[in-house]
Amino acid sequence: GAVVSQHPSWVICKSGTSVKIECRSLDFQATTMFWYRQFPKQSLMLMATSNEGSKATYEQGVEKDKFLINHASLTLSTLTVTSAHPEDSSFYICSARVPLSSYEQYFGPGTRLTVT
Amino acid sequence: AQKVTQAQTEISVVEKEDVTLDCVYETRDTTYYLFWYKQPPSGELVFLIRRNSFDEQNEISGRYSWNFQKSTSSFNFTITASQVVDSAVYFCALRLSGSRLTFGEGTQLTVNP
């Protein structure tokens, strides 16, 4: 149980275009999902916390107009990187909190974004 | 504020050697949870263990063992008889009473045949 998927697993896009990444909880309903970014050889940095039916809470320094997060259902959160630039190239990982589980998070497999 | 420090950036060992990965954490809260995750080259995080602040018992799972010491704010991870498949980046993480996870910088472990 507690499986989280991400789509796509990797994507290459041109500078200036937008890219949408999906995060799904497959066998449970997740009221809260998290989005992390990981640059090569670095740690995971929390970008934002996504709550179903409400606006996401962004970490300091993360541009909310650039990284649009939508959590429209209990099993799906999306991260849209708008007007992507090469410096946005990174590994994006989502996680979902399992309800009634002492706040445990289960991680998706990640999406590697390359902006050319 | 909470912080996790993994002082070892990279460790290289030869297969069958034992290796310990260090993790030191900082928090003023009395209730917290500590985690270890493995991140192989594929990138997917693999959960290894969770330990809450009220349980200082050490744990062993196969070749893996964990030493939690509140007196030194450390939660070290030992792999016994390391194998090539253990090569990965290992992250220690801290969570307080909410959901937010704070990760350490990670330790790249390379096990050579």
At B13-59, the pLDDT tens digits run 999 999 999 999 999 999 999 999 999 999 999 999 999 999 888 88
H helix count then E strand count, chain B: 0, 12
Summarize the confidence of residues A61-83 as an average pLDDT: 94
Percentage, residues of chain B above pLDDT 90: 84
B89 beta partners: B39, B108
**Residue A102: band (very low, low, confident or very high) from pLDDT cuts 50, 70, 90:** low
Are B49 and B35 contacting, i.e. CB atoms less than 8 angstroms apart?
yes
- If contacts are CB pairs under 8 Å, which of residues 11-70 in chain A contact chain B? 32, 34, 41-44, 46, 49
Contact assignment for A112 to B42 by CB distance below 8 Å: no
The answer to whether residue B67 scores a pLDDT higher than 80 is yes
Nearest CA-CA partner of A48 in A30, A68, A29, A31: A68
- If contacts are CB pairs under 8 Å, which of residues 51-90 in chain B contact chain A? none
What is the spatial distance between Cα A99 and Cα A101, in angstroms, rounded to a whole number? Answer: 5
CB contact set of B1 (below 8 Å; sequence gap of 6+): B26
What is the spatial distance between Cα A30 and Cα A12, in angstroms, rounded to a whole number? Answer: 28
What is the spatial distance between Cα A42 and Cα A61, in angstroms, rounded to a whole number? Answer: 17
Contact assignment for A43 to B105 by CB distance below 8 Å: yes
The DSSP bridge pattern shows strands B101-103 and B46-52 to be unpaired
**Residue A33: band (very low, low, confident or very high) from pLDDT cuts 50, 70, 90:** very high
Which among A5, A47, A105 is the top mutation candidate for probing chain B, defined by the most B β-carbons within 10 Å of its own β-carbon?
A: A105
**Residue A97: band (very low, low, confident or very high) from pLDDT cuts 50, 70, 90:** confident
**Residue A101: band (very low, low, confident or very high) from pLDDT cuts 50, 70, 90:** low
Q: Which of B37, B98, B103 sits opposite A103 (nearest CB)?
A: B98
Residue found under tokens 């498949």: B85
Which among B3, B39, B90 is the top mutation candidate for probing chain A, defined by the most A β-carbons within 10 Å of its own β-carbon?
A: B39
B52 beta partners: B33
**Residue A103: band (very low, low, confident or very high) from pLDDT cuts 50, 70, 90:** low
Mean pLDDT in chain B?
94
Are B108 and B9 contacting, i.e. CB atoms less than 8 angstroms apart?
yes
The answer to whether residue B107 scores a pLDDT higher than 90 is yes
CB contact set of A112 (below 8 Å; sequence gap of 6+): A9, A10, A11, A90, A91, A92, B43
Contact assignment for A112 to B43 by CB distance below 8 Å: yes
Q: Which of A43, A97, A110 sits opposite B43 (nearest CB)?
A: A110
